[in-house]
């Protein structure tokens, strides 16, 4: 909206035009006059207005026709109706069709001032909302959060609605669906954007160190604590703390986290005094926390504290319509980063991508496209440039009959688990964290399974 709001007055009475022109000019608005429907249509075609004030009844048409013309040519413009008492029902009908408000003749100056002022406030807010939404879409695209599917549109709406609130948010979804990207987008779109965003993966830090990382410690609190250290809650002061894989917190740490959320204070390890903290908490988990609560592995009171609002992220297999958009985005991204001249995927290659289940979700798709762009010597990615795992038909779990002598179920399941662990490691070049994500389990759980099956030494070079 321009610095000086512009208002179009549509009325066939010259005295009413002059009165509104004088008053609105005195309020600091730019004013244009129209003596009827035809004149208003001409003005709307050649100029832009923030508000239209129109009489309901005019010799050459009605205010409803003015309203419909505004909605067709400039839907962001707000329309206020002027009506005599006998036409109030018509004015209410106009509001049902989209008019902002109406004023009844004879009216008071203060009434016009208030109604016009609120209409302009609404227009400013709507304009700001559109601007922020446009910026948010740009930020999401930079973070590879792209999609036209209904599921992703709901996620985008959630991000915008939650950006300026202080409510704790739980982001749920499989590994690779973009939980940290959503958390960063919420932070970047809100009023805390100029303060720190601190992310920590609860599964990647040993339990005996995690308490100190989150809450800090004082000098001498334990061996190696040679000086005072601020925890991540304090580092994120005024901003956002993102706890990924929150289900991996021990019950002891869950109690301490609950206290911070309830009292807005924390006590460093080994300390004796409490500190005020102001960090918005966003958590994420690829596990069903309700199940963890039922199993006694996650505190119910903490669950309700962190899950004020939940944002469920859909797996890529449930939004396959977004795959072509993501493929095009990743090709453009890695073509630029790697200095290649790759333009697109062939139809055959794209069909392979559309059929593949992508257990690693968007992260796996990005890795596939980065690899294809890096290896490509032509402007088009062909089918044979995709990883062999995508081209092989999906293998089904063998169905076996129990022989007369019975089976050793533990051994049978152990053999199959061992095969999957090794296959996952092989698919990601031996990187344990990536293999864990591919299998949809935490890094800690993956490491435990390796040790249980005696595979930890075989995988010791991976990290």
Q: What is the pLDDT at residue 203?
A: 87
235-237-243-246 Cα dihedral, nearest 10 degrees? 110
Q: What is the pLDDT at residue 281?
A: 94
Q: What is the pLDDT at residue 135?
A: 54
Burial label, 109 (beta-carbon count in 10 A; 0-12, 13-18, 19+): exposed
67/48 Cα distance (integer angstroms): 14
Supply the DSSP string of 115-177, one letter for each residue. Answer: HHHHHHHHHHHHHHHHHHHHHHHHHHHHTT----SHHHHHHHHHHHHHTT----EEEE--TTS
Classified as helix, coil or strand, 335 is: helix
Q: What is the pLDDT at residue 216?
A: 87
What domains, with CATH codes, occur in the chain? 6-127 (3.40.50.2300), 143-312 (3.40.50.300), 316-391 (1.10.8.60), 409-452 (1.10.10.60)
Q: What is the pLDDT at residue 123?
A: 83
33/50 Cα distance (integer angstroms): 14
| Contact in structure between 222 and 209 (CB atoms under 8 Å) | no
374/6 Cα distance (integer angstroms): 55
Q: What is the pLDDT at residue 400?
A: 55
- pLDDT tens for the chain, 463 residues long, are 446 889 999 998 898 888 999 999 998 899 999 999 999 999 998 888 999 999 888 888 888 899 999 988 888 899 998 887 656 677 787 888 888 888 888 778 888 899 998 888 888 777 765 665 555 555 554 454 677 888 888 888 888 888 778 889 999 998 888 899 899 888 888 888 889 999 999 988 888 889 888 988 888 878 777 788 888 999 999 999 999 999 999 999 999 999 999 999 988 888 888 889 899 999 999 888 988 899 899 999 999 999 999 999 999 989 988 999 899 989 988 988 888 889 999 999 999 999 888 888 988 999 999 999 998 888 999 998 888 878 765 444 454 566 666 777 777 787 788 888 887 777 766 778 778 878 878 888 888 888 887 776 555 544 4
What is the rounded radius of gyration, in angstroms, for the C-alpha atoms of the chain? 31
Does residue 149 come out as left (phi exceeding 0), alpha (psi in the -120 to 50 range) or beta? beta
Closest by CA to 9, choosing from 72, 79, 74, 76, is 79
Residues 6+ apart with CB under 8 A from 456: 447, 450
107/19 Cα distance (integer angstroms): 12
Q: What is the pLDDT at residue 85?
A: 62
Beta bridge partners of 197: 240
Residue 184 C-alpha from the chain's centroid: 8
Kindly report the three-state secondary structure assignment for every residue of 238-286.
Answer: CCEEEEECHHHCCHHHHHHHHHHHHHCEECCECCCCCEECCCEEEEEEC
Classified as helix, coil or strand, 31 is: strand
DSSP H or E run through 30: strand 30-34
269/264 Cα distance (integer angstroms): 16
421/441 Cα distance (integer angstroms): 11
319/392 Cα distance (integer angstroms): 22
DSSP H or E run through 10: strand 6-10
């Amino acid at each position: 909206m321009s610095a000086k709001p512009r208002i179009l007055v549509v009325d066939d009475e010259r005295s009413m035009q002059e009165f509104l022109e004088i008053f609105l000019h005195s309020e600091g608005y730019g004013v244009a006059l129209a003596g009827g429907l035809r004149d208003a249509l001409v003005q709307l075609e050649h100029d832009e207005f923030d508000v239209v004030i129109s009489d309901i009844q005019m010799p050459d048409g009605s205010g409803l026709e003015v309203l419909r013309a505004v909605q067709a040519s400039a839907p962001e413009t707000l329309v206020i109706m002027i009506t005599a008492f006998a036409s109030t029902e018509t004015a209410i009908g106009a509001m049902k069709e989209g008019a902002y408000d109406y004023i009844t003749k004879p009216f008071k100056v203060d009434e016009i001032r208030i109604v016009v002022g609120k209409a302009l406030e609404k227009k400013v807010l709507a304009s700001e909302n559109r601007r922020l939404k446009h910026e948010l879409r740009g930020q999401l695209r930079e973070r590879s959060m792209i999609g036209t599917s209904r599921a992703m549109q709901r996620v985008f709406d959630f991000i915008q609605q939650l950006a300026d609130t202080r409510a704790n948010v739980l982001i749920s979804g499989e590994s690779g669906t973009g939980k940290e990207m959503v958390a960063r987008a919420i932070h970047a779109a809100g009023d805390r954007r100029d303060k720190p965003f601190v992310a920590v993966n609860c599964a990647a830090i040993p339990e005996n160190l995690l308490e100190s990382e989150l809450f800090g410690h004082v000098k001498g609190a334990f061996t190696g604590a040679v000086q005072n250290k601020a925890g991540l809650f304090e580092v994120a002061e005024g901003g956002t703390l993102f706890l990924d894989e929150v289900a991996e917190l021990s019950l002891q740490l869950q109690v301490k986290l609950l206290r911070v959320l309830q009292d807005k204070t924390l006590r460093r390890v080994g300390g004796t005094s409490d500190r005020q903290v102001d960090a918005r908490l966003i958590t994420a988990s690829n596990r069903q926390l309700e199940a963890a609560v039922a199993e006694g592995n996650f505190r119910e009171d903490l669950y309700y504290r962190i899950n004020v609002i939940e944002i469920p992220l859909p797996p890529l297999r449930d939004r396959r319509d977004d795959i072509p958009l993501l493929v095009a985005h990743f090709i453009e991204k890695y073509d630029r980063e790697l200095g290649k001249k790759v333009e697109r995927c062939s139809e055959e290659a794209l069909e392979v991508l559309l059929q593949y289940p992508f257990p690693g979700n968007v992260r796996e798709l990005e890795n596939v496209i980065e690899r294809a762009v890096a290896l490509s010597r032509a402007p088009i990615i062909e089918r044979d440039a995709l990883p062999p795992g995508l081209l092989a038909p999906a293998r089904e779990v063998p169905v076996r009959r129990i022989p007369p002598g019975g089976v050793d179920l533990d051994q049978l399941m152990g053999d199959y688990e061992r095969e999957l662990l090794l296959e996952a490691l092989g698919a990601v070049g031996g990187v344990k964290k990536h293999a864990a994500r591919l299998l949809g389990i935490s890094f800690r759980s993956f490491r435990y399974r390796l040790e249980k099956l005696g595979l930890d030494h075989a995988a010791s070079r991976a990290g």
